[in-house]
Amino acid sequence: AQKITQTQPGMFVQEKEAVTLDCTYDTSDPSYGLFWYKQPSSGEMIFLIYQGSYDQQNATEGRYSLNFQKARKSANLVISASQLGDSAMYFCAMRERYTGNQFYFGTGTSLTVIP
């Protein structure tokens, strides 16, 4: 089974609108971390936001927030007030504390912001 599933290969959003990028994960480890990364066309992976499995509140970092629904094993990224510079690939990732410790990445979602 896939550890991280991103079902949206491509998304479009109007500038200044909000957009949600979906991510579901699969783990039986009680402790894990969830991450979102942005990869512009330059290739560098930029860390955006982190959510720990025991965190009670959803993580927020500026215009980024993570909608964490533990029971549904869902960790969607919400980008508010989209900007042209947000056009990039977005990857969801997970790391388990006790099971293997490997970082697992999803296949990514390509976001295009339309002026």
Binding site for other proteins (CB under 8 A): 31-33, 35, 37, 42-47, 50, 52, 91, 93, 95-97, 100-105, 107-108
Cβ closer to other proteins: 31 or 80? Answer: 31
Cβ closer to other proteins: 68 or 82? Answer: 68
**Least CB distance from residue 39 to other proteins, whole Å?**
9
Q: Label each residue of the chain as H, E or C.
A: CCCEECCCCEEEEECCCCEEECCEECCCCCCEEEEEEEECCCCCCEEEEEEECCCCCCCEECCEEEEEECCCCEEEEEECCCCHHHCEEEEEEEEECCCCCCEEECCCEEEEEEC
Cβ closer to other proteins: 19 or 37? Answer: 37
